[in-house]
């Protein structure tokens, strides 16, 4: 599975060329459970294009878009792909990625003929995801996170606990709300 944040140009053709391709599952009224295998199905008139590259696209809580190339050069006539998201969720966990809540995730089929990358792109409906621990419950990616509010509150606490110019005590609240106190000597001012 390849992870990309930026995308190479992909040629788009009139809708009549891709109208014969349609995602049929998963059901976009249901949340995608990324802790279990997901079956992606489609119908296709294979006379338009004979292969597709299947991608999973999403958005982080900070609004950054990302995409994973799930499988390349799938025959369009196969009509389905069973995706095990384990490697993707492990990559998210290794970087503490926070996903946006809400329907911000989709599949893309990048249709093309054999031995070429030129073709058309078809997108599925949008999905919400479950089965991953770090999903923002705020929904919109441009809202201030709860941790951002706590960080601002920490600045106020620092200001309240200064003892002279040479000793600053920093109070830090961890997610489990345990308080830690860190003392730091500041260099003398000239």
Q: Would the pLDDT of 129 be above 80?
A: yes
Taken in order 58, 39, 53, 107, the sign of the CA dihedral is negative
The pLDDT of residue 36 is 98
Surface-to-core class of residue 46, CB atoms within 10 Å of its CB (0-12 exposed, 13-18 middle, 19+ buried) = middle
Which range, 33-47, 66-80, 148-162, is most confident? 66-80
pLDDT of residue 19: 55
Nearest 5°: the CA angle 89, 81, 125 is: 75
Does residue 163 register a pLDDT over 70?
no
Instruction: Please give the pLDDT value at position 168.
Output: 36
In the predicted model, is pLDDT for residue 158 greater than 80?
A: no
DSSP state at residue 60: B
Max mean pLDDT among 3-12, 32-41, 152-161 falls in 32-41
What is the average pLDDT value for the chain, to the nearest integer? 74
Contact yes or no for 110/10 (Cβ under 8 A): yes
Confidence tier at 165 by pLDDT (50, 70, 90): very low
List the domain boundaries for the chain.
Answer: 2-130, 146-185
| Inter-residue contact 74 to 42 (CB < 8 Å) | no
Least confident of 28-37, 39-48, 67-76, 116-125: 39-48
Decide if domain 2-130 falls under CATH 2.30.30: no
CA distance 122 to 24: 12
Please check the confidence at residue 185 and state whether its pLDDT lies above 90: no
Residue 169's pLDDT is 36
Q: Which residue has the higher pLDDT, 122 or 186?
A: 122
- Are the C-beta atoms of residues 70 and 81 closer than 8 Å to each other? yes
pLDDT > 80? residue 144:
no
Do residues 34 and 131 lie in contact, with contact meaning Cβ atoms separated by under 8 Å? yes
Cis, peptide link before residue 26, omega less than 30° from 0: yes
pTM over 0.75: no
The pLDDT, as a whole number, for residue 115 is: 84
Give the residue from 91, 78, 90, 5 showing the smallest Cα distance to 39.
78
User: Which pLDDT belongs to residue 72?
Assistant: 96
């Amino acid at each position: 599975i390849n992870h990309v944040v930026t995308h190479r140009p992909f040629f788009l053709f009139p809708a009549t060329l891709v109208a014969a391709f349609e995602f049929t599952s998963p059901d976009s009224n249901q949340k995608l459970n990324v802790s279990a295998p997901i079956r992606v199905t489609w119908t296709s008139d294979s006379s338009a294009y004979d292969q597709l590259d299947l991608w999973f696209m999403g958005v982080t809580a900070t609004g950054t878009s990302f995409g994973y190339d799930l499988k390349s050069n799938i025959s369009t006539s196969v009509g389905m792909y069973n995706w095990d998201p384990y490697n993707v969720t492990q990559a998210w966990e290794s970087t503490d990625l926070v996903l946006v809540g809400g329907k911000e995730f989709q599949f893309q089929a990048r249709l093309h003929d054999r031995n070429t990358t030129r073709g058309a792109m078809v997108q599925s409906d949008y999905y919400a995801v479950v089965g991953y621990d770090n999903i923002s419950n705020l929904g919109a990616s441009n809202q201030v996170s709860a941790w951002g509010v706590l960080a601002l509150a920490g600045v106020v606490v620092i200001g309240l606990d200064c003892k002279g110019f040479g000793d600053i005590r920093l109070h830090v609240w961890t997610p489990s709300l345990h308080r830690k106190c860190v003392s730091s000597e500041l260099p003398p001012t000239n």
